[in-house]
Amino acid sequence: SRSGSCVTSPNYPSSYDNSQTCDISNMPRNPLVVLDWAVEGSSTCGYDWLEVNGKKYCGTSPSDGPVGVVTGSMYWQSDSSGPERGWEICFDIHPPNSPPALPPASPPKSPPLQPDSALISGPCLLTYGGQCVTSGNYPNKYDDNEECTITNLPRNPLDVLYFQTQGFGGSSCASYDYVEVNNVKYCGTSEPGPQGVIPSDGTMYWKTNSYTTYKGWEICFGPRPPLSPPALPPYLPPPVPPLSPGGVQIDGPCALSRSGSCVTSPNYPSSYDNSQTCDISNMPRNPLVVLDWAVEGSSTCGYDWLEVN
């Protein structure tokens, strides 16, 4: 069996028959490997047995099968009763085991930080794709007793987009809420903060006290984000062209509409009456715009009509 590397009892894996014998010879000198073993047995192996190197083997457990290297041949014999499932023994190479289970796939690691990517310890936040940093909760007010350390900053001039903290600037900042860069503290509502300062050690520090809080700050250390485009002015309809001096004059039941910029047939939007006439004069010299039109007609307009020019 198994491409000539193993041998089995007759009919295996079905039971062998009674009164069978086999000689297996010319085997390689390799250790035997018992894959399966179930042979009618006794203490002297006097019923069914496999003889290897002059020793008889029987029993129903693989541990009862032969061991060691065959130095001659193997001989199999069964008696006239009680057959079992039999055996399968390999003598060349052990048939390959199932491949070991692959280890569970590990989730992909987060990509490493790029050089000059800022690292934050505390509630401050990166914005604009990691190009800027803000105080906690920005643009809402920061909290009391807030503290952040921002490290790994690129050595670029800082660009302050917004800066408003408690304090009065200068040496007083240590008592209030301040941003510290290069051992200089910045605070207040009228100063620009650390605008243009290059963080020589790549670090910025933020600390607040337990009193009044403000909106905070947003500071960029990479390319400045583009400004939002200005809002478009609201659409204004074109002005109504001025009427000629004295305004449009109507003689008849027609009516002016839309603050005198339009004129309608009598009773519009209801139907006009029979046998009506109107004269509309003193109109501005602008192209006419027809908003609605439903007039009894014929090929010669001999019934109801509006005459222009």
pLDDT single digits (tens) 8-63? 999 998 999 999 999 988 878 888 888 899 999 888 898 999 998 889 999 988 88
What residue ranges do the domains of the chain occupy?
Answer: 6-90, 119-220, 247-309
The predicted pLDDT at position 110 comes to 38
Question: pLDDT tens digits for 248-291?
Answer: 899 999 999 988 889 999 999 999 999 999 999 988 888 999 99
**Angle at CA 170, nearest 5°, toward 165 and 172?**
70
For 198-237, the DSSP string reads --TTS-EEEE--SS----EEEEESSSPPPPPPPPPPPP-P
Question: pLDDT tens digits for 206-236?
Answer: 999 998 899 999 999 877 666 666 677 777 7
Q: Same CATH topology for 6-90 and 119-220? A: yes
CATH class label, 6-90:
mainly beta
pLDDT value at 243 more than 60: no
The predicted pLDDT at position 239 comes to 63
C-alpha atoms less than 13 angstroms from C-alpha of 1 in its C-beta half-sphere: 17
Question: pLDDT tens digits for 95-154?
Answer: 445 556 666 666 545 334 445 578 999 999 999 888 999 999 999 999 999 999 999 999
DSSP state of 280: E
For tokens 């000689």, name the residue. 23
What's the chain's length in residues? 309
> Architecture of 119-220 per CATH?
Sandwich (2.60)
Please tell me the distance from the alpha carbon of residue 259 to that of residue 245, in angstroms, as a whole number.
15
Secondary element (H or E) of residue 88: strand 86-90
